[in-house]
Structure 1
Amino acid sequence: DTYYIQTLRDLDLYKFNSEGCIGITAGASTPNNIIEEVYSNVRAKF
């Protein structure tokens, strides 16, 4: 599955409870602080 989010508020981590692998990609125009915020929260959960 693929989920498009713009900010951390759009991310529902409970959707990923049964996933064995999660990948994060970002476009060149995505601010680094958004990428880091999402990455940190996903990493803390898994």
Structure 2
Amino acid sequence: RTSALENVELPLVYAGTSPSKRKEMAQKALAEVGLKGREHHHPSQLS
């Protein structure tokens, strides 16, 4: 099972984005959709 953060990071892994940059980008994306602070929740815990 993967966290919300890991799910958002996955395409960036395939794109070759550095780990620090992809974490920053993924956290920003989650914040933009109102999920700041819930990065480590599993998708089933977000509904």
TM beyond 0.5: no
**Which TM-score tier does this pair reach, normalised by the shorter chain?**
0.3 to 0.5
More helix by share: 2
What TM-score results when the alignment is normalised by the length of structure 1?
Answer: 0.39
